[in-house]
Each structure stands twice: as C-alpha cells, then as structure tokens.
Amino acid sequence: MGARLTLATFNLHAGMDGYGRRFDVVEACSALEADVLVLEEVFTPAEGAGQASEIAAALGYEAAELRLAPALRLRQPLPVPPGAGWEPKRPYPQVRRALRVGARLDRHRGRLGPYEPGWWGLAVLTRERPVSVSEIDLGRLRRDVTRRGALVVELPDGLQVVGTHMAHSTHGSPLQFRRLRALLPDKQVPAILAGDMNFWGPPIELALPGWRRAAKDKTWPAWRPRHQLDHIFVTPAVARLGGEAVRAGNSDHLPIRASLALARLTSGPSSRRE
C-alpha cells in the first residue's frame, strides 16, 4: 500500500445560507483536515480575491479554479424572522434570492441594488503543486442555468483528482455522466472523482463502471440529511480506508471526506481516455 491522503468535497453555497448569512469558509475547510479539497459553488467577486484563493492562502493549498457562470451574491442578509431555519420556508422569487446563478451581469450593471457581481464555480485545492491542470467541458443542458465542467489536477505521484459539480438529474445529467465517463482518467491509474453530483450513488456507479464509492453517508440537506448527493469515487488503484460526512460550515450540503491510499503508482503522466 502506497502513500495515504485525506480528500474532502464540500459545496460551499458561496459561504452563506439561504438568507445570505455568511459563515467562515476558511474555518469550515480547516476543520476537514484534508490533503485535497474539492469545492463547489465557490464565489469569486468581480473585484478582489475569491473564496478558493482565500482558503488556499490561509491554509497552505495550491488552488486550481474553474468559473462556470456569472453570479450575484447578497451584500447583506435578508430579514430573518424569529426561529428561522437555513432558508425561507417560502423561497423568495429569483430576483430576491441570496445567491443568483446564471444571471447575466451586463443586464444588471447600474442596478445591482443589494447584490455584488461575481462568478460561481468550482475549485480543487492541493497541498502539493500540481504537475498539470486541465478542464473537461460538459456543456450546458437545456433546463440548466449554467454550463457544467470538471477540473483534472495531476499530482507529482501520478494521482489524478477530478473535481466536478453535475447538473440535477431532472435536467438530464445522465447525458453529462456519459460524456464524463469518456473523458475520465483510465481506470488502471490512481484517480479520484469527487464533487456535488446531484444524484444517488448506485446510478452513478452504473454510469461509471469500474469506479467505486469511497465514502457512504448522507449529505443533503445539511440540517436533516436524507440523501447522499456529494460523492467521492476512486479507481481500483486507490484503496478505500473509510469515510464520513462532517459537520462544518453552514451550507445546505454537508462536506464528505475519505481516507485513501495509493495502491499502485504510475511512472509518468497519465492520459484521459478519448
């Protein structure tokens, strides 16, 4: 058995709840004690450093980022009634939501009101400097508000980490899983696929033959978890040593992490299947 590492994936929801109340994303990510972090719904303001850069700088990671859609985030929280939960019981219309994704920034210039413009995307944070970083374009489904994609980060020991944030199954995500399968690293090399996949584990295992779940635990909704939508998959060259969901931050998803070991190392850069 080779080198061991801990990997965690966490949908940050731009670092706030459904009312726009912020939480400390650095503190939340620090609590995961991960060697590799895959983060979804990271927010990068139009001016200044984004959340992925902030977390990396504070905790000593190298950050690779992928912007997926323009977004608007509340500058100040919405009014919160006594006894309120994570989000309003009756969701506000799109124009008043705490986080608006896919809104075209040029349509809102000069009349942003309580919102700050920026970008919504995903990131992969690693302790080691990557050998290479590349992107998989999964396109945009007709019913989705944003395009989807994945980041492929290759580390010095030959391990490839793929971070993604898939569309909802009701939007037709099986089409994107089919495309992702053709572009993932070969199953014979050490590789990890992690992220918010908006789907249950068993159907994903059928869609990605040869990839195995490294952690099984409920992650959504965070205040009363009923489903696992956030996953960590590995190839046979990566040994699974255990995993669980973790209480950290105040997103609508719980982060999930797994302890892993490289069972077999490669001798050079590995290519994805074409």
How confident is the model at residue 267, as a pLDDT?
44
Positive or negative, the Cα torsion across 241, 247, 249, 250?
positive
What DSSP designation does 15 have? Answer: G
- Helix, strand, coil percentages (3-state) for the chain, rounded to 5, are 15, 35, 45
Q: Per the domain annotation, does 169 fall within a domain?
A: yes
Give the total number of structural domains in the chain: 1
> What is the distance between the terminal CA atoms of the chain, rounded to a whole angstrom?
29
Give the mean pLDDT of 52-74. 97
Which residue's entry shows tokens 């060259």? 237
Give the mean pLDDT of 71-79. 92
pLDDT digits (tens, 9 = 90+) for 212-239: 999 999 999 999 999 999 999 999 999 9
CATH of the domain at 156: 3.60.10.10
Q: Per the domain annotation, does 188 fall within a domain?
A: yes
Q: Per the domain annotation, does 269 fall within a domain?
A: no
Could you tell me the pLDDT band of residue 103, with boundaries at 50, 70 and 90?
Answer: low
CA distance 215 to 19: 30
Q: Per the domain annotation, does 11 fall within a domain?
A: yes
Residue 105: give the domain boundaries. Answer: 4-262
Q: 0.85 cut: is pTM over it?
A: yes
Q: Per the domain annotation, does 270 fall within a domain?
A: no
CA distance 159 to 108: 42
Q: Per the domain annotation, does 217 fall within a domain?
A: yes
pLDDT at 123 over 90: yes
Q: Per the domain annotation, does 191 fall within a domain?
A: yes
How confident is the model at residue 13, as a pLDDT?
98
Which of 148, 103, 145, 101 is closest to 122 using CA atoms? 148
pLDDT digits (tens, 9 = 90+) for 173-216: 999 999 999 999 999 999 999 999 999 999 999 999 999 999 99
Q: How many residues does the chain have?
A: 274
What DSSP designation does 267 have? Answer: S
Q: Per the domain annotation, does 154 fall within a domain?
A: yes
Could you tell me the pLDDT band of residue 128, with boundaries at 50, 70 and 90?
Answer: very high
How confident is the model at residue 113, as a pLDDT?
74
CA distance 136 to 150: 5
